Structure 1
């Protein structure tokens, strides 16, 4: 059954402002969801009344045909007329001031809708339509559409956003959101307390790097090392927070303050041959590049370590942050990448010669 009246229409700016609140850091394909194209897509869906339960639907090319002038025409008559005419083949082909070129419908359809809003449950697809059908097929989830009502108080809006997230976002996405939010809270504190494997504690200065360092020691180390120990820990400004010379000497490693040491040095004394782990904490820059790996490997060689017993890890906040996207291509082969937001996972940058295998099943 088609509703006779169209839904409340918020301003485009309100949608732009609220999309990052609905889809915070940690959401897959977040860049597709918070850019202006996504906000404009949501606006046009509200404009034509394409909301779950109304039997009104949107076709991606309608978004390209919208103009600032048309968007300002908010009467029900203007909206209904545009909704009808924008679906007529060839209509509005040369409309002046259109938001996007005609060929932009593909990224709207694929990136904004299919891989963004549809996957998160913000948009539903019309059932029973062949994939080749030119009929409109997308509509906003009713609860999602209500998040942009400007008549709601800020408190009510935030409560509705949290409720919608809990209902529609995956458990993995919700977990990443909470981890990243907690990192922001921790970074704003006066200091960050870190607990070492030997139960000693140290206080780090507040900041994004310290948040990552804390989880490297408290989460990464016990998860990926058998019997971890902290040999060296520094923070921004090359300030040495902790060094265990006794443990270092026991494995033949000499720590010199004037050397270009990494942010963290761990050791795993569980294996027959101890594993030395060099870790760079990457809040903005400073990952394990090939040249950095060579320099650190030289320190290990001087301590008598075989390269097989040395590991290199770049620790990031999240795969979706700018730091990782910027540095991913610079990471050294034969190193690892670990993310605070996905603590049970690790990326292995395997290089030739590490394992004689030619097929994927031999590596699985």
Structure 2
């Protein structure tokens, strides 16, 4: 291991987690109350600063309120970095991105390098409208060595934040539990960068799910990428369907609302697979009905609640199937919009080092104390 670590590339950020099992290192960063406030946005800021004239930054996100990061992207653009920013125009809190959009759109901003995505709604029964959204979180940098960050983190804070109302609505993502994983396998970085540029160049519409890009699978050495919406089956659901009896599946989820999601996890339990779910405490995100269904199906269910009410925004799955281990993570939620409509990214990896990094974070989360009960939220091992 020490020989391999010698090959690990140092990040511009000083407090780095590196998990190495091959000659391809990974950068894994977890935000949370055990990290400095703004830890993950600082990782992104350091990478922006490290890209020189002639380099490239490709940025796709759902929420973007961090004015200092927005200004850093403008400064990179002015010094000759090729910048693209692709941003959801109407997130769940529709005005959340307005200030950053105004900054990036003003004279001397990003100009055509900024693309705001507003995907038309789909008519639904009872006069409702289904609204596809760009829910991906993807940050690609060409220098000092190519890297693409994928995970759960939106730069949705703005420290110091003068809008406590929106922080209450979104949660304090600069201090809450999130993750960014920096992928450096050349095949994955090239394809993720191409994906970001495709979204920027040709904004997706209602027919995007039928495109070859939406349905392709990109394979690296031990890691595969999936995009959706797609016409092919949900890649995570397909993967879990092939997990063998006797395996252990641990799910960390900020949102579980879809009936289909409950069916998937309870079906695993019926197949003699140990299923443990650690979910966000907010009932809007993980309903009481979901909790009751899990309890009835012998799914080991716990709710995470930070003592400071910081959000648990992580989305990952750990699978131990015989002598094989897998980590699944990305932007996707266990909700109907995420299943069928939204633009999402998922990564499925067999890298043991990546598994250990996420398993260590599971231990941090499961040992948090629930202030409502005074009991430790420990899932049985």
Q: TM-score scaled by structure 2?
A: 0.24
TM-score (ref. length: structure 1): 0.25
Q: Which has the higher strand share?
A: 2
- More helix per residue: 1 or 2? 1
Query: Which of these two proteins has the greater Rg computed from alpha carbons?
Result: 1
